Structure 1
């Protein structure tokens, strides 16, 4: 990728057909790129469009520098949330943005939002959770050819990429093998079984059996079963999913419909071996992954992208996977109108990206940066809620 200012000038021509953009003035002193660390810079930018002014912020990350990495920001439990600045500072990152969409609200009586994310999570090479069924997601509609299993990821080869993660899981007991179709997810596939570990946290597991693969608001299943496996042995069974912390040496299996029937074949004292893993398609082992929606592929925006103007968070990747741009666009104010997803995709191309993803937007869009000499990262954009929203996860920029 070339420098941000040059690419922003190219952006004016690239979007001439999509919407009117006036030439950018020379960058003021306050809008110059600011070195954050070796291989990492931050820069605010302004655009004039036919729908009003747009204020944005970009973090440029050079992964060819061996001292720079991307990693997952998370609050310690899958079913938890925190502000981006807290997530960034707790992990010692030099910068961070919010990540995936998450279970922010609930339509089911008596069920509380879990705050867990929609897509998969991998932190430091370890799988934390899988993806909920596509119909259970929050956020804009998925473009054709994409799914909740898509992620922004960093491979063991040190290159960023968009990857697809499938969950592979089994629970092997004395009467055969039961397929496991979920890992620490707020929604399980109809007829499936999910595994919950200590990574889930203390939130109720009841939400996992609500809705269907196509309809998030469909009623909760009445045919359920929960089995607690402690140190490889069935410790207890229950008809409904429970709540509370899960010990590190335990796994809780939750089933709905046919999955519940399979779990009912297990009895207290039965030995059970539970195995789950996230398998990347056509990618090396992943060190980091966060759920993300592809909007740019091979240099072209995907068809059917959401046209609503809104605050946005996105990420763009160069063809070689060595350069990453983390972008936040403010919106819902006179100072910044926001952008459509197609505009964001084209903005990413102006920064030299060939592939890009959309992350959670609206009131979640937040960028935190720790300037050289500062002890803590602070918010650089203007969140549309007037303050930071607590979110499920984020993308951190790390130097070492």
Structure 2
């Protein structure tokens, strides 16, 4: 993780362990505890355990569901859950079931609506970078284009939680390093499968994007998500190192493997207009980590809340909500996945400052906030039927489709 200013925690959250197994969606999985007994970790697989407990918080009692993951176990790993395309969504249960995961939680914040841009399709794509099985799927949108609560000072849309090829988890920043080279010269590539491109830039869309419209990428500005869509746009389709098609308006539809669609706005559009069918184009891109650690096998966006055991400065301590988070312990060898319950009895939730304190109390040294509210979901595979179902009550009454999540896989 990049260096940030740090402050001591305030100790706002007090974990109150109660016997609540028989009252929630996870009861069938974990069974019931005797009255007054403290719940114990329930084994889902070798190296993967689950428990639930109450938290006394500013907005009342919140109920937490936690999965502890031991990455030291040879058969245990975490991977990106996603529906096979960046601009697509599915429920955590469906994603985990389709990919054969034992359990999972929802992931990054995403482009959920477009009320400010009538007629423009919300893509469902996530805010931050994403890596699946070592392949870079997408880069981060500009800070002003993100969906979700205000970011803590010193954080941004490039922040990620990830696991390296060394099977160790860490927090980091992932920045796009790319270029577009043509007979007219070379310019930086400023986007990769993003729902929003920086003003005046060119971005690339590949087969990983999906079939959603690319118009949204030219709407808003770097500092204002609601700003009008650009009226100066252009796109070119590149295959085999040559331009094979051009258009003044970003299109939609699946992009074939081996094909790249370049979308430009303002100065970027003017650059692309110099190209014609047959022009030679070379597009290169990669995600570069701020740390010098091993390459990532898996990563997704959100924002840090705990750094080396200390809550980040400026964490919100007034707005309570249902939350999802992931914590790192034991030098990246152990994870804690947290999802709050969204049932009416517990919907008050936690502030972000309380999330940081809770993750630290669990044993996390670093922690990362993921999308919350109606997106918060923890799901696991039943040992009986083998079906994957939600352990918590999603606050919307049913699981919300999301663009990605953290999947827990175990062979033991």
TM-score range, shorter chain: over 0.9
- Aligned residue number for residue 43 of structure 1: 51
Distance (whole Å) between structure 2 residues aligned to residue 130 and residue 27 of structure 1: 41
Matched, 1:86 2:98: no
Give the alignment partner of residue 18 of structure 1, picking from 12, 21, 25.
Answer: 12
Shift of 1:265: 1.8
- Aligned residue number for residue 288 of structure 1: 298
Question: Number of residue pairs matched?
Answer: 386
- Aligned residue number for residue 144 of structure 2: 135
Structure 1 alignment gaps of length 5 or more: 1-13
Residue deviations 1:240-266 (CA, integer Å, cap 9, x gap): 111111111210000111111111221
Shift of 1:172: 1.5
Residue deviations 1:55-113 (CA, integer Å, cap 9, x gap): 11000000111211111000111111001100010010000000000000111021010
Distance (whole Å) between structure 2 residues aligned to residue 302 and residue 333 of structure 1: 30
Distance (whole Å) between structure 2 residues aligned to residue 323 and residue 382 of structure 1: 26
Shift of 1:18: 2.3
Stretch of structure 1 that moved more, 335-344 or 380-389:
335-344
> Aligned to 1:334, what secondary structure does the other structure show?
helix
Q: 1:72–1:393: 8 Å Cα contact kept in structure 2?
A: yes
Distance (whole Å) between structure 2 residues aligned to residue 142 and residue 226 of structure 1: 32
Structure 2 alignment gaps of length 5 or more: 1-7, 22-31, 34-38
Q: 1:310–1:361: 8 Å Cα contact kept in structure 2?
A: yes
> Aligned to 2:345, what secondary structure does the other structure show?
coil
Residue deviations 1:207-236 (CA, integer Å, cap 9, x gap): 000000100000111111100102221011
Distance (whole Å) between structure 2 residues aligned to residue 345 and residue 126 of structure 1: 30
Distance (whole Å) between structure 2 residues aligned to residue 50 and residue 170 of structure 1: 49
Stretch of structure 1 that moved more, 258-267 or 367-376:
367-376
- Aligned residue number for residue 4 of structure 1: none
| TM-score computed with the length of structure 2 as normaliser | 0.90
Matches within 5 A, 1:108-127: 108-127=117-136
Q: 2:109–2:147: 8 Å Cα contact kept in structure 1?
A: yes
Matches within 5 A, 1:153-302: 153-282=162-291, 283-302=293-312
Q: 1:62–1:324: 8 Å Cα contact kept in structure 2?
A: yes
Q: Which runs of 4 or more aligned residues in structure 1 lie more than 6 Å from their structure 2 counterparts after TM superposition? A: none
| TM-score computed with the length of structure 1 as normaliser | 0.93
Cα RMSD after superposing both structures: 1.8
Residue deviations 1:249-292 (CA, integer Å, cap 9, x gap): 21000011111111122121012111111111112210000112
Distance (whole Å) between structure 1 residues aligned to residue 399 and residue 16 of structure 2: 32
